Chain A
Amino acid sequence: MAAAVPVQRGAAVGSSRIARSGAQARPAAAVRVSQRSVVTKAQQKREMMMWEALREGLDEEMERDPTVCLMGEDVGHYGGSYKVSNGLYKKYGDMRLLDTPICENGFLGMGVGAAMTGLRPIVEGMNMGFLLLAFNQISNNCGMLHYTSGGQFKVPMVIRGPGGVGRQLGAEHSQRLESYFQSIPGVQLVAVSTVANAKALLKSAIRSDNPIIFFEHVLLYNVKGEVHPGDYCQCLERAEMVREGTDVTIFCYSRMRYVVMQAVAELEKQGYNPEVIDLISLKPFDMETISKSIKKTRKAIIVEECMKTGGIGASLSAVIHESLFNELDHEVLRLSSQDVPTSYAYDLEAATIVQPEKVIEAVHKVCGVRAGV
């Protein structure tokens, strides 16, 4: 029997791994560290893409707090499959940008254990759909440990990653996990949609002592916009007023915000004045903003990417009918994806999700068709 051989345990996790496996960092030429994503103290708003904004928020929080760390597949040396952690391992080392093997159940549980000791891990699902493998850890451990331990342990984790329907990625890579996670007690669900709110909400999520499930969207990483100046953190429980109006309230979140605003551009020409609210907080709902708007417009349309059955919209519709029934002139219209696996074929995929035309039709239905339309 071989004697126990003491292995030189490297100071950085990576050194032992690199030495043994021969794994290489990407060649310098291929690493794209954008000049724009260097952290500065500039007070002006700066334009960048959403992935850069998320990266900037992550960088700022990791610099501020040494207990913040990111773990997931290809987040370290590869820089993240959507570049959200691009190059950060060079600054913070392999322990804080931890490349995990492909074992979602295992590494999500590992993140929960680390969070219980006082670290603030961010666990990335390369696609949120992969986190179904970790559902037990998310529900029972991440969500419930604070309660079952009588308040002894907190789980200050952020579970983030891209979800939603992309461009012909196929059924298994086009899932909407917010549907499945919404019933888990003890977690908050947040969905980002713009460059500004992506960075600001990520900063808040990292600082929160609650477990936050943080939904990004596969098709929004290259959206351009401005970030807020300085250390701006956005409230995780507040909806965003996108466009104030009077005729009807349209609730949306994530990529559907853009679908709705595309419809609104046309609706404005037709003489409508819709109010658009981006939910941001999928759990809990910002009932203050929601009810204020419905009391004003007396009509509500929900536009979601979740399927008709059991989506965020199903919950929101029930809540609105139950608590604001007398404020409504029309039943809530709910536009959701079809209850089918997302097809690969382009036209079928397009028909699965809500398109701007459907939003326009829904507004016509609740507000009546205007003369001249």
Chain B
Amino acid sequence: MLALAGGALRASLGARALAAGGASLRGYGTTLGVEGDVLTAEVNPFKTHRIDPPSTTVSATKAELLQYFRDLYRLRRMEISADMLYKAKAIRGFCHLYDGQEAVIVGLEAALNHKDSIITSYRDHATHVMRGGTVLEVIAELMGRTKGASKGKGGSMHMYRRQTNFFGGQGIVGAQVPLGAGLALAHQYKGEGGVAVAMYGDGAANQGQIFESFNMAALWDLPCIFVCENNHYGMGTAEWRAAKSPAFYTRGDYMPGMNCDGMDVLAVRQAFAYAKEYAVANGPIVLEMDTYRYHGHSMSDPGSTYRTRDEISSIRQQRDPIEHVRKLLVDNGLAEASELKAIEKEVKAEIDGAIEEAKAAAHPEAKELWTNIYQDDLGMTLRGIESNHKHKYA
């Protein structure tokens, strides 16, 4: 293996990465028919572990599909804009983009509601928007402005929306999963129903704290859906080079699990609806979303040293989540191509407006350095960089 020349090595890596993870250049399932406004289709089969799969026959109305299209397209344009802003140095630091993976969060939110809790990793811009946040809040936060989701103090990896039970955003790989178990514990403690969703990637799946969380959740039958967004690469390391068993939906061992085509919003919606029903009645379940990110791990990673450009473009041509929904609508006569173009135009205007507003938004004042350190104001002073500088804790 080590003796292979660079090109051959990369080619073999690409093919093996996809094959080993179960990702393939498969297409989508077939459309079964349209009746009035309702489309019925078959999604790709679910792989299951200790549980029966849900039906692969799904239905969606024209209105739903148009909404999914709008949501998917909005997320895509937002992330592409972030790419451009980053290259223009309006966004600094770490920036992990979600383009390619949009169907996961859109399908999840189609099945769940904002009384369910969710926590995810640093790849959280799309999650913030789908939890009721605005594109402005995301872009402004990326640009470090006070109109941002965390007043400019969090940055890309730290977006939150308390009123809709979005608990962030997390900088350290995998550390959000025990927090997710805590969210599920709170659901059970309070007895108000609902589930907690704890999302992590294929890289994080090898963290010990995830297994600690699995054990506790299963021990106490917590209403938790653990979700591995498997985009097949942990930064530059393909899943088969990091995981002895890349069948992440089986890693819960005693817990049931299901692998789902994460590029198909209807399959994702079906999987989450099924998982929520299961989790509320019985206890935790693991979902693995077979998905893909077009960008590298972050803006610092070109994303092409460990996978081939062919692989990336093939997925884009054959499995793009937005194009899939476009085809469902247009090929089945539910919408005209021009209708969808109009939506695209509206979304572009929305994004452009948000960018302009973010660029004009204020930077945090100097005094914000000392706020939100403690919830309870201690009424004490904090010593500054020089010993005779003092600031009040707030």
Which A residues contact B (CB, under 8 angstroms)?
Answer: 1-7, 9-10, 13, 16-17, 69, 95, 98, 100-101, 103, 105-119, 136-137, 140-141, 145-156, 185-186, 188, 208-210, 237, 284, 287, 319, 322-323
Contacts and interface: CB of A to CB of B under 8 A. Distances in A.
A110 B216 contact: yes
Contacts of B387: 319, 322-323
Interface in B205-261: 208-209, 212-213, 215-216, 219-221, 256
A319 B162 contact: no
A137 B177 CA distance: 11
Given A136-B175, A150-B152, A284-B380, 7 more contacts: A98-B185, A109-B181, A117-B190, A119-B190, A140-B175, A151-B151, A156-B375
Nearest to B162: A152
A284 B378 contact: yes
B315 to A, nearest CB: 29
A148 B50 contact: no
A153 B162 contact: yes
B198 to A, nearest CB: 9
Interface of B: 48-52, 117, 119, 148-155, 158, 160-162, 167-172, 175, 177-183, 185-186, 188-190, 208-209, 212-213, 215-216, 219-221, 256, 278, 281-283, 371-376, 378, 380-383, 387-388, 393
B215 A119 contact: no
B153 A136 contact: no
Contacts of A108: 178
B139 to A, nearest CB: 15
B4 to A, nearest CB: 38
A111 B182 contact: yes
A153 B160 contact: yes
Residue among A5, A109, A322 having the largest count of chain B Cβ atoms under 10 Å: A109
B192 to A, nearest CB: 10
Contact of B376 (A150, A208, A284): A208
12 contacts: A2-B51, A98-B185, A110-B179, A114-B185, A137-B175, A141-B175, A150-B160, A151-B372, A152-B160, A209-B375, A210-B378, A284-B378
Q: Which 3 residue pairs of A and B lie closest in terms of their CB atoms, listed nearest first?
A: A113-B182, A109-B178, A106-B212
Given A113-B179, A146-B372, A4 B160 contact: no
Residue among A6, A9, A152, A154 having the largest count of chain B Cβ atoms under 10 Å: A152
Given A1-B51, A185-B373, A148 B182 contact: no
A1 B48 contact: yes
B261 to A, nearest CB: 19
A116 B179 contact: yes
B373 A146 contact: yes
B158 A7 contact: no
Given A4-B278, A9-B221, A105 B185 contact: no
A148 B144 CA distance: 12
A148 B378 contact: no
B172 A140 contact: yes
Nearest to A106: B212
A130 B189 CA distance: 26
Nearest to B182: A113
Contact of B52 (A3, A6, A107, A323): A3
Contacts of A106: 178, 181, 209, 212-213, 215-216
A156 B376 CA distance: 10
A112 B283 contact: no
A150 B175 CA distance: 20
A119 B376 contact: no
B179 A141 contact: yes
A149 B162 contact: yes
